[in-house]
A and B are shown apart, each in its own frame.
Chain A
Amino acid sequence: MKKLISLVILFISIFSFQNHSISAEKIKFLETDWTFKGLFGKYDRGALQRGYQVYTEVCSACHSMQYLSYRNLAEPGGPEFTEQEAKFIAASFEVQDGPNSEGEMFTRPAKLSDKFVMPYDNVEAAKAANGGAYPPDMSVLAKARKGGADYIYSLLLGYDDPPANIKLDDGVYYNKYMYGNKIKMSAPLSDGLVEYSDGTQATEEQMAKDVTTFLMWSAEPHLETRHKTGFRVIVYLIILSILVYLTMKKIWSRVETKV
């Protein structure tokens, strides 16, 4: 057992040494106090609602969220708009439906059951409108990038003037946290870009934090239930383990060997 432990320690030290030696080019992400981290982590309801506002007013011009429906906005564990609010939000979008009894396609206001309306008809159209780069779908983006929420938050605030040795083409921007440092999205946020109805100051950091929280929720809509259930499951297992341990001790006391 001692050997095993020393082996593990040795292995970890080699591992961390190796990591250290190549981390010269690695950049640490910006840190902020996410409410959804930790064993009891929950989403900040206000941040989710503001984040949705930032998404609709800013991001959704180019980024789709194809796996989300308007009903999700009113579901527990999410932004928790009231059903009336969610219906109102949905109705502000037009969706294509049909064919009707005449065989014609028609448009109508979106309902709760409709998916989020996409900014482009297809990937090619999205590319054509964005200088050849596809603005990724944002439904699971927070899980599809190494570093998750921290990465997205950092990227949104990571725009800077390029160092002298980097030349940028037209429509390409410098970002400290982007893989390869070149990004085709211009800095999307600036102070006061949106007007929050709850009185929160719409600073760049605030908007980045809000919209990242929203993206984290859209990637993990059941995170709150997961944390709550997990705590109960683990407490249950620990109590049961103790009871089974005591039972085991009792049973094995009939045999002189120790367990």
Chain B
Amino acid sequence: MSDSHYTPKSKVGKWFNDRLPLLTLANHLTDYPTPKNLNYWWTFGGILTFCLITQIVTGLVLAMHYVADTKLAFASVEHIMRDVNYGWLIRYVHANGASMFFLAVYIHIFRSLFYGSYKSPREIIWIIGIIIYLLMMAAAFMGYVLPWGQMSYWGATVITNLFSAIPFIGEGITTWLWGGFSVDNPTLTRFYALHYLIPFLILGLVVLHIWALHVPGNNNPVGIEIKKPSNDTVPFHPYIVIKDAFALLLFMIVFAFFVFYTPNILGHADNYIEANPLVTPAHIVPEWYLLPFYAILRSVPDKLMGVIAMFSAILILVALPWLDTSKVRSAVFRPLYKQFYWILVLDVLVLGYVGAMPAEGLYLLVARIATAYYFIHFLIILPFLGFIEKTNPVPLSITEPVVAGAAMATRSDGENKIENNLKSLG
């Protein structure tokens, strides 16, 4: 941290800061040099922080009224919806907040993929991010179980049963997870305890995520290392703060629209039927944000292999900084990667779509092709691309896009391209 020489002006401030340098930290956060060319895709870090805080605060209030007991859980949620002051608002914000959280995290992840933010020296930020994402999925899944509706119960049954695919010890693990021989009261109470715990683990990891970010500083749309502070940077406050605030407000408008006008559209109608172990719903589907992985799981005929494929699909991201062999970060200067990037986006959307459909016929075929492509993208295309792709000239700085070395002759050409590219990023 470059600004450790900071001394508070007031005597009391200095006295306090010498003992606990909170003011130094605050000073670092406000002065933090940020690339001035960050576009709106970079505002989702702040938006995600907002999502996490919203979930924690609303969740805390819900926890005051919710009862984790299979006989009372469903009724206690109805109590919140009907009799608790503004309980309906708090619950709808929490339920839709989960969806908004995932929407934002997917944009955040795909922004990183596009601009190569996971590459050296930011691998640790990336890996912490993947762990946060995994914890988010666990928290969301367990949260969905708590209202004890039909989808809660059967979703929990399907997902926990996945562990029984592990050879020899699988059955034992499943029984251990359930705390019995089926999803029942012990399962509900432990899911509740974990659902309460995980957000605070995420909060801790978010601090590490930001800490790790503040060591090398932000990546930027051009994807080059810049001098900090310099002509290429602006202090975090007020420039980035106000921009993040504006983006957050737009995000909140979308969020509010869901909460107030279509609060149940992202959920499943069956979850308003109380859980019944004797009646299986016609289709058991997870929440939309887990659908791509659900599609991968079902596209493999063998249960164990399906589970492995599903977890690999997430864990493969941990190796991404080393699978991508290109020296150039930003897709702006990688004509081939840019195309494959959009194919990957489409591939994940297709996976999400077939994940919501019954696993049969054409849907299953499409799911299999899309699953295969997902892995091919990361394991074959990305490593090769670094060697065969001819990248466009990269500027040396943000303010003065001077093109490096051999490309001097075609400089004006390259400059135009860069400018166009920057414009298209808006």
Interface centre among B234, B238, B246, B259 (most CB of A within 10 A): B246
Main DSSP-derived SS at the B contact region = helix
CB distance from A43 to the nearest CB of B (A): 15
A contacts with B, residue count (CB < 8 A): 44
Which residue from chain A places its CB closest to the CB of B40 in the assembled complex? A259
B168 contacts the other chain (CB 8 A): no
Tell me the complex Cα distance, A86–B221, Å. Answer: 64
Q: Which of A18, A241, A245, A247 contacts B253 (CB 8 A)?
A: A241
Q: Is the CB of B89 within 8 A of A226?
A: yes
Which residue from chain B places its CB closest to the CB of A148 in the assembled complex? B269
Which chain A residues in 21-71 approach chain B with CB under 8 Å?
Answer: 39, 67
- On whether A241 and B346 interact (CB within 8 A), knowing A143-B269, A230-B260, A234-B257, the answer reads no
Q: What residues of chain B lie closer than 8 Å to A237, measured between beta carbons?
A: 249, 252-253, 256
Q: Is the CB of B264 within 8 A of A241?
A: no
Q: Is the CB of B349 within 8 A of A11?
A: yes
Tell me the complex Cα distance, A237–B37, Å. Answer: 26
Q: Is the CB of B282 within 8 A of A7?
A: no
Taken residue by residue from 81 to 99, chain B's Cβ proximity to chain A (1 for < 8 Å, 0 otherwise) reads as: 1100000110010000000
Q: Is the CB of A248 within 8 A of B256?
A: no
Tell me the complex Cα distance, A18–B252, Å. Answer: 32
Q: What residues of chain B lie closer than 8 Å to A148, measured between beta carbons?
A: 269
Q: Which of B261, B269, B349 contacts A145 (CB 8 A)?
A: B269
Q: Is the CB of A146 within 8 A of B269?
A: yes
A193 contacts the other chain (CB 8 A): no
Q: Is the CB of A244 within 8 A of B246?
A: yes
B contacts with A, residue count (CB < 8 A): 43
- On whether A234 and B78 interact (CB within 8 A), knowing A140-B272, A229-B89, A257-B36, the answer reads no
Which chain A residues in 221-247 approach chain B with CB under 8 Å?
Answer: 221-222, 226-227, 229-231, 233-234, 237-238, 240-241, 244-245, 247
Which chain B residues in 27-83 approach chain A with CB under 8 Å?
Answer: 36-37, 75, 78-79, 81-82
B426 contacts the other chain (CB 8 A): yes
Q: Which of B37, B249, B252, B282 contacts A179 (CB 8 A)?
A: B282
Q: Which of A2, A139, A179, A248 contacts B78 (CB 8 A)?
A: A139
Q: Is the CB of A230 within 8 A of B259?
A: yes
Tell me the complex Cα distance, A255–B183, Å. Answer: 59
Q: What residues of chain A lie closer than 8 Å to B346, measured between beta carbons?
A: 7, 10-11
Q: Is the CB of B261 within 8 A of A227?
A: yes
Excluding A39-B261, A72-B82, 14 further A-B contacts by CB distance (< 8 Å) are A1-B424, A3-B342, A14-B350, A226-B89, A229-B89, A230-B260, A230-B261, A234-B257, A237-B253, A238-B253, A244-B242, A251-B238, A255-B234, A259-B243
23 pairs from A and B in contact (CB 8 Å cutoff): A7-B349, A10-B346, A11-B346, A39-B261, A67-B82, A140-B272, A144-B270, A179-B282, A221-B81, A221-B82, A226-B89, A230-B257, A230-B259, A234-B253, A237-B252, A237-B253, A238-B253, A244-B245, A248-B242, A248-B246, A252-B242, A252-B243, A257-B36
Q: Which 5 A-B pairs have the closest CB atoms?
A: A230-B260, A144-B272, A241-B249, A143-B272, A248-B242
